[in-house]
Amino acid sequence: MKRFLVLFLTCAMLLGICACTGKKSFEVPDEYNEDGRLIINVYGHDMDPLISPSQDTADILEIVENKFNIDLKIETTTVANSPTLLNQLIGGGDVPDMFIHFKDEPAYSNWIDSAYLMDYEPYLDDYPYLKNAFTALGTQEEVKSFLKGKLYSYPIIVHNNAESGALTTEIAMFYRRDWYQALVNKNWTPSSGRPLKDPEDPDFNYLNFYDLLEGFTEGDPDGNGQKDTYGYSLCKDEGVFWWYPVLNMFNAFHQGWAPDGNGGWVPEDISDNMHDAVMFMADMYDRGFINSDYNTTATFDAAKNNFVNGKAGVVVSNCTATMGSGVVDSMEGFLGKVANSKTMSDIVRGMPVVTGRDGVKRVLGAVNNYGYMAINNDISENKKRVILDLLNYILSPEGDTLLTWGIEGRHYEVGADGVKKSLLPLDQKGRQKTLVDNTVAWGVYRLKGLASWETVFTNDPRPQPEVTDQLMTAWDPKYMIRDELTFVSVNSSFATVQAELEDKTAIAFKQIVTKISGSAEEKAATREKIWDDFVKYYELKGSNYVAAMNASAKELYPDGKV
């Protein structure tokens, strides 16, 4: 795994042509442990349960390692620190054999230029499950464009059987259903004069959303006689990513692109729609509908905890089978406390896609992957093949069964009708434990995550099935759209500019959605000045980047249709 820097620097000029053409510079010899197993160095985030595994995790991991005669040496950190540590490893010449990276990795183009990344394409005909997973993201041309010309990384699949190009989401807007019912019961009326509307009414729109947040903030929805709640729990993490459900109500998409009417594309971050969306957010902030600390101390987990602990009425959070049920379980203490709630579905639910300002329902969908698995181009052909065997196995029916259900006869059995039935015990509440329960084999999910992030563990009886299923389906896929230029990319020379524009966008938006002194007119003027300065900066700093994106879009979509 170790790249010797002296050798690299000495040979840099001679190898320059090879690196630029993506050819492998040299091959690192295979290493074996004392049992003769091939050592494979793996890097990924949050993989501690594989480093210090439970007995069940260790036994399943051993089955996989025995199958391929390998020894997985894992290095890990938190998801937040993952890009930093990965770049430290690679910058120090210590490239892992296989490693997970994220979409917005500024060093990705440099990895290509330095020939660190193996091209998957020449191998895929030998690995049908892996090949099928590649096609789930989009067309081959789109995937190659996004990965900058070749299949340099594997887009780790979320849903194994999704159609090519299908959009998905593992996120929902959670809301307090009992708080809404409490407002109804007391005949609370919004200051707008509009009637309070059910969030699950098909006609529920962005103004009704505003009214609901007002009720959650000013209507004493928890009935304790104090003004100690607010509408929307927001966090400081990931720039302004978590704003997107509100931005989408204005047909605005952060980092998105919109047709310019002349066959080209313009950044949506500086569009009139985005301006109106951000000012709408600022108004909600002024009214106290958004937590005042969202840009200072409120992390993603803190924002979720504010919802779970009864401070906020709405939050956007992960809603997978495990995470959604985790949120619901944490709120069981509210049962029967507000509006005569009788079930957890009376307390927390997923808010369906809200009708936007233009009368259209839309929400940003995600292409069917989470992160990317890269294979070091300098390892031996033998090791590459073994890694490909491993990834293909994880996606196969055999591998998926092992990593979802566990060991037959120990964790599950197959009935005469061919249906699998869990043999795991029930928890203290009489619900069926699953393989990924933290008392069973949580680490196996992280092993599966090398190739598949699918989280469907639905043994019955399971935690809160009605409310969890509703959360996972609240955002109907028919209303999902993707950024029009998702698969369009530009060369590495724009990496710094892209990062600067992203940082500037987050800073400007948060400067607008913050406490500003003065009269209403003075506040509006200050915010307009911040917006105008931001647009000017973006247009000046990003002009060449925008031109390059348009050129790449024209190359990928020559007829202008995306």
Q: What percentage of the chain's residues is helix, strand, coil (to nearest 5)?
A: 45, 15, 40
Task: For the chain, give the mean pLDDT.
Answer: 91
Taking 90 as the threshold, does the pLDDT of residue 47 lie above it?
A: yes
pLDDT digits (tens, 9 = 90+) for 35-45: 999 999 999 99
Taking 60 as the threshold, does the pLDDT of residue 542 lie above it?
A: yes
Taking 50 as the threshold, does the pLDDT of residue 19 lie above it?
A: no
| Distance in angstroms (rounded) separating the CA atoms of residues 158 and 336 | 36
pLDDT digits (tens, 9 = 90+) for 50-104: 999 999 999 999 999 999 999 999 999 998 899 999 999 998 889 999 999 997 7
Q: Is the CB of residue 349 less than 8 Å from the CB of residue 324?
A: no
Strand-pair partners of 74: 42
| Distance in angstroms (rounded) separating the CA atoms of residues 19 and 116 | 9
Q: What pLDDT shows up at residue 9?
A: 32
Distances (CA, A) of 441 to 202, 266, 431, 461, 465: 41, 47, 17, 18, 21
**CATH architecture assigned to 5-165+368-396+442-453:** 3-Layer(aba) Sandwich (3.40)
Lowest mean pLDDT among 13-27, 141-155, 191-205, 497-511: 13-27
What is the pLDDT averaged over residues 348-371? 95
Q: What is the Cα 527 distance to its own chain's centre?
A: 30
| Distance in angstroms (rounded) separating the CA atoms of residues 160 and 129 | 9
Taking 80 as the threshold, does the pLDDT of residue 197 lie above it?
A: yes
CATH of domain 171-234+290-364+467-481: 3.40.190.10
Q: What pLDDT shows up at residue 433?
A: 86
**Residue ranges of E strands in 138-229:** 154-157, 167-168, 171-176
Return the number of other C-beta atoms located less than 10 Å from residue 258's C-beta: 18
> What is the band of 435 on the pLDDT scale with cuts at 50, 70, 90?
confident
Q: Residue 102, class by beta-carbon neighbours within 10 Å (0-12 exposed, 13-18 middle, 19+ buried)? A: middle
Q: Strands 363-364 and 480-481: what pairing?
A: parallel
Higher-confidence position of 382 and 432: 382
Return the number of other C-beta atoms located less than 10 Å from residue 286's C-beta: 15
Q: What pLDDT shows up at residue 460?
A: 64
Q: What pLDDT shows up at residue 69?
A: 98
Q: What pLDDT shows up at residue 459?
A: 63
Strand-pair partners of 45: 77
Q: Strands 366-367 and 167-168: what pairing?
A: antiparallel
Lowest mean pLDDT among 116-125, 150-159, 377-386, 489-498: 489-498
Q: What pLDDT shows up at residue 8?
A: 33
8-32 burial, b at 16+ Cβ within 10 Å, e below that, comes to eeeeeeebeeebeebebbeebeeee
Token pair for 422: 């869990």
Return the number of other C-beta atoms located less than 10 Å from residue 494's C-beta: 19
Q: Can you give the residue ranges of every domain in the chain?
A: 5-165+368-396+442-453, 171-234+290-364+467-481, 492-556
Q: What pLDDT shows up at residue 6?
A: 31
Report the phi/psi class of residue 154: left, alpha or beta, with left for phi > 0 and alpha for psi in -120 to 50.
beta
Distances (CA, A) of 259 to 54, 65, 394, 468: 52, 50, 40, 37
pLDDT digits (tens, 9 = 90+) for 444-491: 989 999 999 887 665 666 778 889 889 989 999 999 999 889 999 888
> What is the band of 11 on the pLDDT scale with cuts at 50, 70, 90?
very low
Q: What pLDDT shows up at residue 416?
A: 93
* DSSP states along 19-86: HHTT-----BPP-B-TTSPEEEEEEEES-HHHHS--HHHHHHHHHHHHHHTEEEEEEEE-TTTHHHHH
Smallest Cα–Cα separation from 176: which of 313, 289, 304? 313
Q: What pLDDT shows up at residue 431?
A: 80
pTM over 0.75: yes
Higher-confidence position of 364 and 438: 364
500-528 burial, b at 16+ Cβ within 10 Å, e below that, comes to ebbebbbebbbbbbbebeeeeeebeeebe
Alpha helices by DSSP H, 203-358: 206-218, 244-248, 272-286, 300-308, 321-330
Residues in CB range of 494: below 8 A, 6 or more apart:
544, 545, 548
Token pair for 551: 């050129």
Q: What pLDDT shows up at residue 492?
A: 79
Lowest mean pLDDT among 186-200, 442-456, 520-534, 543-557: 442-456
| Distance in angstroms (rounded) separating the CA atoms of residues 486 and 337 | 45
Q: What pLDDT shows up at residue 458?
A: 57
**DSSP three-state, residue 468:** helix
